[in-house]
C-alpha cells in the first residue's frame, strides 16, 4: 500500500511544482511484476490529473503572485502555453501530458477560466493515455 501511495504522490507532484519523472517510477513498479497493473494505472492517472487540478486552481485564483520567486511557473513557460492555448483552444488540454508545456497549459486553463468539468475530462484523458502507453511499453519490452 505504501508503494501505491508513493506512486500517487510522485504523479501528483510531477504535475505541479516539483520536477519529477513519475514515468520512471511507474515503469519500475510495473516491470517488477509485484503490483497490479490496473491499480498502478488508476493511481498514476488520478494522481497526475489531481496535480493538474492544482495547476488549474493556481491559475484561477493565484495569478497575482506570478512574479514571486517561489511561483511554480516561469513567464516563458506561461507564454509558450498561452500560445498553444490561443492557437488550439481548449482542445490543447489534450497535450497536458507533454513535458514542459503540459503543466503550464493546465495553469493557463485556470487563468482563462476554462470550465472545470471540461478541463477535468480532457486532462484526465490526456494523463491516462500517457500512463496507458507507458504501461503497454513496459509490458512489451520488460515482461
Q: Enter the C-alpha cell of residue 135.
A: 504501461
Per-residue pLDDT tens for 30-70?
999 999 999 999 999 999 999 999 999 988 887 777 777 77
Quick one: which of 6, 15, 81, 7 has its CA closest to 48? 15
Q: What is the pTM of this model?
A: 0.85
Predicted local confidence at residue 74, as pLDDT: 73
Q: How far apart are CA 62 and CA 47, in angstroms?
A: 21
Domain regions of the chain by residue span = 2-141
Per-residue pLDDT tens for 96-129?
998 888 888 898 899 888 999 999 999 999 999 9
Report CA Rg, the chain.
Answer: 15
Amino acid at each position: 500500500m505504501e508503494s501505491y501511495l508513493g506512486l500517487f504522490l510522485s504523479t501528483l507532484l510531477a504535475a505541479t511544482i516539483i520536477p519529477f519523472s513519475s514515468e520512471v517510477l511507474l515503469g519500475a513498479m510495473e516491470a517488477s511484476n509485484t503490483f497490479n497493473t490496473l491499480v498502478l494505472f488508476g493511481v498514476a492517472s488520478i494522481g497526475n490529473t489531481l496535480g493538474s487540478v492544482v495547476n488549474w486552481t493556481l491559475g484561477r485564483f493565484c495569478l497575482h503572485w506570478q512574479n514571486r520567486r517561489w511561483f511554480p511557473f516561469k513567464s516563458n513557460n506561461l507564454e509558450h502555453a498561452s500560445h498553444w492555448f490561443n492557437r488550439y483552444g481548449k482542445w490543447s488540454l489534450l497535450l497536458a501530458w507533454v513535458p514542459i508545456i503540459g503543466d503550464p497549459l493546465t495553469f493557463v486553463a485556470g487563468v482563462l477560466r476554462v470550465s472545470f468539468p471540461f478541463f477535468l475530462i480532457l486532462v484526465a484523458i490526456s494523463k491516462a493515455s500517457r500512463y496507458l502507453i507507458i504501461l503497454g511499453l513496459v509490458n512489451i519490452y520488460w515482461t
